[in-house]
Structure 1
């Protein structure tokens, strides 16, 4: 659910305490992520996020296992938001992807 006004967006974000920065900090601390890019897709209300997460902890894990690891690290935050879309990469995968671009 997207906020209809900037004031409503600020109120929702203030009540949940969830910001792209707080999500990034949690992922860096809990997953040892070396790169995190969080995009608020909800227009600032803090209810819909898309993320690129690069962590050595994703090595030898399936996509599903990576998502479960992220969802476990952000259990409380995910419960408070509307939508969460992570894209998980190992450092090696991320480096290859960056070299192709």
Structure 2
């Protein structure tokens, strides 16, 4: 398996987990259950899952009143996508 395909697969899995965590936390909030910590949500966002976390935030309208999520996730997504593009181009050399 090529390195590019491995990185893309890993990125996809991390983003799917971040997306699912946002949905799960929203369901738990509605049902007054034990919540997923913001620290854990940010951990997956920082582990290159920002796009998935942002998509989950928009999909379930969750954490949209928190400026750190509303501004931070899109900004982190752009930074991470830029880093992935640079990594991809550096692997092609």
Higher strand share: 1
Do the two structures share a fold, i.e. TM-score over 0.5?
A: no
Higher helix share: 2
State the TM-score, normalizing by the size of structure 2.
0.27
